[in-house]
A and B are shown apart, each in its own frame.
Chain A
Amino acid sequence: MTRRPTGGAATRRSRPVLAITVLAGPFVLLFTCVYLVPLAYSLVRSLFRKQSSGIGIGPQTDVFVGLANYVEVVTDPTFWTGIGRVFGYGFFQIPLTLLLAMAIALLIDSRASRGRSFFRLSSFLPYAIPGIVASLLWAYLYVPQLSPVVQLVHSWGWEVDLLGNSWVLFSIANIAVWSWAGYNMVIYTASLQSIPREIIEAAQVDGANEWVQAVRIKAPLIRGQIVLTALLSTIGSIQLFGEPTILRTVTTAISAEWTPMMLAYNQTFGANNFERGSAVSVVIAIIAGVLATIYHKLETRGARS
């Protein structure tokens, strides 16, 4: 990000302090109220614990406990099981979503395709459907009594239970693939269209068929976009909350603290333990930060080679 070339107009004159304050002020103020203060406040709260004096009657007081809440979080098997689940979910969901998005983008971009705007719109349509509605819709499509799909599969003799312990993670991953593939496809399509046509034409002259063009030329050229979408999908995976919360209403395979975000929610509101809820949120934020850094490293290394 270069900061030089655009500063010209303003810097030549004395700075319009009033205008800058009025224009940038509201965002800075709101950002402080909505991001900085809450994060700082929960960081502080996560170092305390409510304690009742004496035998548990009397008023509660806040006692400084250092990192004790964090120790409890990172030694809690529920937390790590939840982390395992969101990683398992991401491990399925991210490659499937991105591969499907890439496949559709490349198929539409290929010279052999027809009805391009129909296919583009149909894959992007799920993105216009609110996540909660998409989850409810798929939840019903997993319930055997309601779902024509499950009934069809059962009639073939495969008695799969999509809401059972062994399938439910895959079922949640499917909701994400369905919702997000089209969104990523739009990002890929835009980058594919920015590839200079001469490159593609040169490949055609050299006799590269559609498949070779797609896999060897187009896909590597939009590598940066792929890394970026993978990062965004990873951030989305860690905060998995809405889909399992909805599916929980139709299956017993999902517990109240099934994912780390559900754990944070349940600790804060179910168990009334704000301090633990805050600590869980902070640990998830740290994990997300580490993953973002790894992606950043991968990307810069890839760009150099």
Chain B
Amino acid sequence: MRRGPGWGSRLAVNGALVLTAIYFLFPVWWLLVSATKSNPDLFSTNGFWFAEMNLVENVKDVFVRDSGLYPRWFGNSVGYGTAAAVGATITSGACGYVLAKFRFPGDRLVFGFVVAGLLIPGALLTVPLYLVAASVGLTNTIWAIIIPSLVSPFGVFLCRVFAQGAVPDEIIESARMDGAGDLRIFGQITARIMSPALATVGLFSFVGAWNGFMLPLIMLTDKTLYPVTLGLYAWQADKGQATYNLILSGSLVMVVPLVIGFFFMQRFWRTGLTLGAVKG
């Protein structure tokens, strides 16, 4: 049995870890505390600790302000996220599977698209996307947000890597011997084997749409179509200080479901980050 690390290095290692944890957690703590305060209390009480409990009033105010825009924004974010998750998972899963298991003319070109798509900074696409959307009359509609979110080069890349490793050729071949068509094989057999990768793509696509800011900012002018991110920005930009408590509680309401989801789906986060080396 080798000797474990001495108390000196234990203290140094764990002390350093505690410092980093404080750095990462204190803004979240501040958000949690501040979301419970009235606007005047935000400015006059100790920021690190609770004052008079005002959380219920804040959240109520968030939901009724501007004749109930926030609930609409929340619904929109859920809708955009769900559309992205479902759409990107299907298109990426199918294409990733084909790239992994079939040779066909143009397969290198399609894979080239995927790699190029991974490397293009996403924000750079928004101005060009706006120009095209404007010329076909799609700006200020939900399609301007949904259609771009259905394409995920990262998702295709991840599904291709996963299918190469996890879907054995023998299964496909024996299903063919039994007379199954290739579409049925994908729908009933390989898609199931690929489900961890598909769940990861769905999760990342949902979060990507949920967090989206620049695309909606450019595409949408109708406030009832905004996602929460853009709505909070609009409050901040239009009203500033007067709405600080609203923005903080609105942020908390938006963050909580995501943090909970992320806690329970750690396995899929890790798959995504380590298999694909994701772009943000």
Contact = CB atoms under 8 A, between A and B. Distances in A.
Nearest to B132: A38
B30 A20 contact: no
B5 A110 contact: yes
12 contacts: A18-B183, A19-B98, A23-B97, A31-B113, A37-B132, A103-B16, A133-B251, A137-B27, A187-B274, A210-B5, A246-B233, A285-B124
Given A13-B176, A20-B104, A131-B211, A38 B229 contact: no
Contact of A190 (B13, B97, B99, B270): B270
A249 B237 contact: yes
Interface stretch (A53-61, A73-81, A161-169, A274-282): A274-282
B28 A125 contact: yes
Interface in B107-123: 110, 113, 116-117, 119-123
Contact of B280 (A23, A36, A232): A232
B128 A10 contact: no
A113 B13 contact: yes
A104 B102 contact: no
A271 interface: no
B103 A11 contact: yes
A187 B129 contact: no
Interface in B34-75: 34, 42-43, 46-48
Contacts of B197: none
A182 B24 contact: yes
Interface in B135-150: 135, 147-148, 150
B247 interface: yes
Interface in B149-177: 150-151, 153, 156, 164, 169-170, 172-173, 176
Interface string B232-273: 110011001000100110010011001100110010011001
B179 interface: no
A250 to B, nearest CB: 8
A41 interface: yes
Nearest to B174: A9
Given A39-B125, A261-B123, 12 more contacts: A6-B164, A16-B181, A24-B95, A35-B120, A110-B5, A112-B13, A132-B233, A137-B30, A140-B34, A146-B43, A249-B237, A292-B119
Contact of A183 (B2, B9, B181, B280): B280
Interface residues of A, number: 110
Contacts of B151: 27, 30-31, 34-35
Contacts of B172: 9-10
Nearest to B251: A133
Interface in B215-243: 217-218, 229, 232-233, 236-237, 240
Interface residues of B, number: 104
Nearest to B12: A112
B131 A41 contact: yes
B31 interface: yes
Nearest to A150: B47
A196 interface: no
Contact of A23 (B183, B214, B254, B266): B183
Interface in A1-51: 3, 6-11, 13, 15-20, 22-24, 26-28, 30-31, 33-39, 41-42, 45
A128 B273 CA distance: 13
A3 B108 CA distance: 10
Contact of A114 (B14, B43, B91, B104): B14
B221 to A, nearest CB: 10
A24 B254 CA distance: 35
Contacts of A123: 20-21, 24
B239 to A, nearest CB: 10
B99 A24 contact: yes
Contacts of A130: 210-211, 213, 229, 254-255, 258
Given A27-B91, A107-B16, A284-B124, A148 B101 contact: no
B43 A107 contact: no
A136 B47 contact: no
A140 B150 CA distance: 34
B277 interface: yes
Interface in B162-203: 164, 169-170, 172-173, 176, 181-183, 186
A288 B110 contact: no
B98 A23 contact: yes
